[in-house]
Amino acid sequence: MNFNALVQAMTPEVYEKLADAVATGRWADGNPLTEDQRDHSFQLVMAYQAHVLKSEEIFTIGADGQMIQKTKAELKKQFDTPQSIARFSHDDL
């Protein structure tokens, strides 16, 4: 099985487990990742984000293989919308 086929065959659950392992440096059972395991898992996570999720979030890899880097202004615009944040006045509480 080639690398691209492996990435396409990954389930979302496997992706989540690999992403968690890369983020924490440990497998779900608590054992630490070796340097090779971390490197390979990171490559799989990035490839899955690029080819399957086609994510445009910050700190991901886009479909073109380039790292997505958003400015603070772009992030603020993305997350600071009236419908995404519940706002209450003092009397509403």
Q: Do residues 44 and 4 touch, judged by C-beta distance below 8 A?
A: no
Is the alpha carbon torsion for 14, 17, 21, 26 positive or negative?
A: negative
How does pLDDT run across 3-25, given as a tens digit for each residue?
A: 888 888 999 999 999 988 988 89
* pLDDT surpassing 90 at residue 49: no
Confirm whether pTM is higher than 0.75. Answer: no
Identify the pLDDT of residue 89: 76
- Give CA–CA dist 21/18, Å, rounded: 5
> Which amino acid, 5?
A
- Give CA–CA dist 76/70, Å, rounded: 10
* 74's tokens: 């772009």
The angle at the Cα of 37, spanning 10 to 13, to the nearest 5 degrees, equals 25
